């Protein structure tokens, strides 16, 4: 099996260990989902992909520059990767998952801490704030009152 993401291992580990330290529990590389997401948080209906900028064609990113030889081969290959990413994300979203992508360049030393803190908020706070119909946020204390006495 040639897994194209072998080189990304360290950034995946970085993200996972951060989330773990913040108290989140998750599944990793879950094969039941398209794309074998790096982090699956069923409690928050959230999936996190940690993407290498080159392999996943991070648009406008300096790390995503095309190799100088075999340009046609690489262009085709990388475009295929990206199309697959888009399709997988759409599939997950349709199944009710929130999909968050963390890019390799967002994990550079200088910006890493900010990005990880934001990711945590996206997962935890985002789940409450953007509660869709499937999520039960529970009835607020006020809703009972308004229904009550009249």
Residues of the chain by 3-state class (helix, strand, coil), percent to 5? 50, 10, 35
d(CA 104, CA 63): 9
We find the least distance from the C-beta atom of residue 52 to Zn ion, in angstroms, to be 9
We find the least distance from the C-beta atom of residue 150 to Zn ion, in angstroms, to be 57
Query: What is the separation of C-alpha 146 from the centre of its chain, rounded to a whole number of angstroms?
Result: 39
Q: Which of 45, 56, 58, 98 is close enough to bind Zn ion by CB under 5 A?
A: 58
Q: Which stretch binds Zn ion (CB under 5 A): 4-12, 53-61, 75-83, 113-121?
A: 53-61
Instruction: Check binding of 56 to Zn ion (CB under 5 A).
Output: no
Please state, as a whole number, how many other Cβ atoms lie within 10 Å of the Cβ of residue 126.
Answer: 16
Instruction: Check binding of 57 to Zn ion (CB under 5 A).
Output: no
d(CA 94, CA 48): 16
Q: Are 102 and 15 in contact (CB under 8 A)?
A: yes
Q: Which stretch binds Zn ion (CB under 5 A): 32-40, 68-76, 78-86, 96-104?
A: 96-104
Please tell me the count of residues contacting Zn ion according to CB under 5 A: 6
d(CA 50, CA 23): 19
We find the least distance from the C-beta atom of residue 33 to Zn ion, in angstroms, to be 23
Please state, as a whole number, how many other Cβ atoms lie within 10 Å of the Cβ of residue 141.
Answer: 7
We find the least distance from the C-beta atom of residue 103 to Zn ion, in angstroms, to be 4
Q: Which of 24, 41, 50, 53 is close enough to bind Zn ion by CB under 5 A?
A: 53
Instruction: Check binding of 61 to Zn ion (CB under 5 A).
Output: yes
The residue ranges that bind Zn ion (CB under 5 A) are 53, 58, 61, 63, 103, 105
């Amino acid at each position: 099996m040639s897994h194209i993401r072998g080189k990304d291992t360290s950034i995946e580990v970085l993200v996972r260990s951060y989330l773990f330290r913040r108290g989140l529990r998750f599944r990793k590389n879950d094969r039941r989902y398209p794309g074998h997401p790096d982090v699956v948080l069923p409690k928050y209906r959230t999936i996190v992909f940690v993407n290498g900028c080159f392999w996943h064609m991070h648009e406008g990113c300096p790390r995503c520059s095309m190799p100088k030889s075999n340009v046609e081969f690489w262009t085709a290959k990388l475009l295929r990767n990206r199309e697959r990413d888009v399709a997988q994300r759409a599939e997950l979203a349709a199944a009710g998952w929130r999909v968050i992508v963390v890019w390799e360049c967002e994990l550079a030393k200088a910006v890493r801490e900010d990005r990880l803190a934001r990711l945590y908020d996206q997962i935890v706070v985002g789940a409450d704030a953007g509660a869709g119909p499937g999520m039960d946020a529970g009835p607020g204390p006020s809703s009972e009152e308004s229904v009550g006495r009249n």
